Amino acid sequence: MTLFRATIMDTTGDPFTGDPAESLLADQDGGLLVRDGIILARGGFGALRAAHPREPVTELSGGLLLPGFIDTHVHYPQIRAIGGLGMPLLDWLERCALPEESRLADETYAHAVAGEFLDGLLSCGTTSALVFGAHFTSAMDVLFDGALRRGMNVTSGLVLSDRILRPDLLCSPADGLAESRALIDRWHGRGRLRYAVTPRFSLSASEAMLAACGDLMLSADVMFTSHINENHREVETVAGLFPGSRDYLDTYDKHGLVGERTVLAHNVHATDAELAVLGEQGAFVAHCPTSNSALGSGLFPLRRHIERGVGISLGSDVGAGTGLFLPKEGLQAYFMQQLLGTDGTPLSPIHLLFLATAAGARALGIADRVGDFSPGKEFDAVWVKPAAGSTYGVNLVHASDATDALARTFALATPADVAAVWLRGEQVVLPAPGERIPS
């Protein structure tokens, strides 16, 4: 067993439905007792030490020990395609993202990209992710293998498209079905891996392809993820392609793809009818603030989601998003709600911590295992500790209380402040700056 001593913070309640202050658990001098990767006890360090006087202690002085971050929308093939600014969604896809995605047909290339992607997540304190995969089965094998060997909580799937995109990214519904089934057989449920049925979006998936996705959802206890309502031109094009559908959500819903195992990214331009269906059916929406800002997609109507009972989580949406560090997404989410004025939802630092951790666990259906530090859960954690002499360090020292410390962390922390990461109790060997761990 190991007794971790740190300033510990997590959210054990939902600040959107309850009192935010009561959602936060914070121990200035806290302790977590961990055995075989599972949290056995949590409390003040002094009391835990008295009860377990002989256990080795890992001292994490300074900074904050937080649950590992959970990214619910991030594209593995786009890790080398960040920073393409100045374009709306469909132009950015054509010029930046999809040419890079095509390169993953080469397994050697995919292997290098997977290593950079998975180590990039860990270096940013992200221990669980719903990963938008590649269009190629061999590239998915590489990703799953890398995540399995690292012990990461990764849910992902082969990206399916059968129209509109460049031809090398397309496959037939029959091939998509067969290749997805084979990947589910090989990877779903191994270690901490799970499978997500992943049509790119209705714009590039025909009725037959979406029907194949529906078959896959019925055949196994897998997740479903895709994009929705990100950009006006995209929404209008989808409406033209599906004249028989009530709205964008209906293109998925009529194939049985909207339910408690569904996470849809963006939903910036949702109708009230769509929000009602999402809320009734218990589906989740991954809000991707830096991506929405970079592509000029719009200001996320968070309040309307909360009012309809739609669960929200955070996604970095790399490579349209501007990095893998979830606290940056939290800060950008806060900015966007401020900019919405009276239509916005003021987000406290407690909301931001919830969105970056426990909310993601709920969306991914793994809240019984990760997302906070409750006894019985797996010890996935990130120690955010300011670099010596940094402005973040100066501010953290002068924080007045736990909420203030979180506010300063979301405002100022960067990936350089990720001092240590644990996956199920095992400390991750993080790449030193300029050094990459072989995948």
The residue ranges that bind Zn ion (CB under 5 A) are 265, 317
Complex with Zn ion: residue 180 or 225, whichever CB lies closer: 225
Q: Determine the 3-state secondary structure of 68 from DSSP.
A: coil
Indicate the residue type of 26: A
Q: Report in angstroms how near the CB of residue 78 gets to Zn ion at its nearest.
A: 8
Complex with Zn ion: residue 315 or 371, whichever CB lies closer: 315
Q: What distance in Å separates the CA atoms of residue 65 and residue 379, rounded to the nearest whole number?
A: 11
Nearest-CB residue for Zn ion? 317
Q: Determine the 3-state secondary structure of 116 from DSSP.
A: helix
DSSP 375: T
Complex with Zn ion: residue 11 or 231, whichever CB lies closer: 231
Q: Report in angstroms how near the CB of residue 317 gets to Zn ion at its nearest.
A: 5
Q: Report in angstroms how near the CB of residue 75 gets to Zn ion at its nearest.
A: 6
Complex with Zn ion: residue 123 or 198, whichever CB lies closer: 198
108 CB contacts (<8 Å, ≥6 apart)? Answer: none
Tokens found for residue 150: 């690292």
DSSP 378: B
Q: Report in angstroms how near the CB of residue 73 gets to Zn ion at its nearest.
A: 6
Contact 151, 426 (CB under 8 A): yes
Contact 70, 357 (CB under 8 A): yes
Bin 97: left if φ > 0, else alpha if -120 < ψ < 50, else beta.
alpha
Q: Determine the 3-state secondary structure of 154 from DSSP.
A: strand
Q: Report in angstroms how near the CB of residue 370 gets to Zn ion at its nearest.
A: 23
Complex with Zn ion: residue 132 or 187, whichever CB lies closer: 132
Complex with Zn ion: residue 30 or 315, whichever CB lies closer: 315
Complex with Zn ion: residue 300 or 422, whichever CB lies closer: 300
CA 87-156-100 angle, 5° bins: 35
178 CB contacts (<8 Å, ≥6 apart)? Answer: none
Q: Report in angstroms how near the CB of residue 72 gets to Zn ion at its nearest.
A: 11
Bond prior to 319 in cis (omega within 30° of 0): yes
Q: What distance in Å separates the CA atoms of residue 121 and residue 69, rounded to the nearest whole number?
A: 9
Q: Report in angstroms how near the CB of residue 159 gets to Zn ion at its nearest.
A: 10
Q: Report in angstroms how near the CB of residue 55 gets to Zn ion at its nearest.
A: 44
Q: What distance in Å separates the CA atoms of residue 360 and residue 59, rounded to the nearest whole number?
A: 28
H/E element, 284: strand 284-287
Complex with Zn ion: residue 81 or 402, whichever CB lies closer: 81
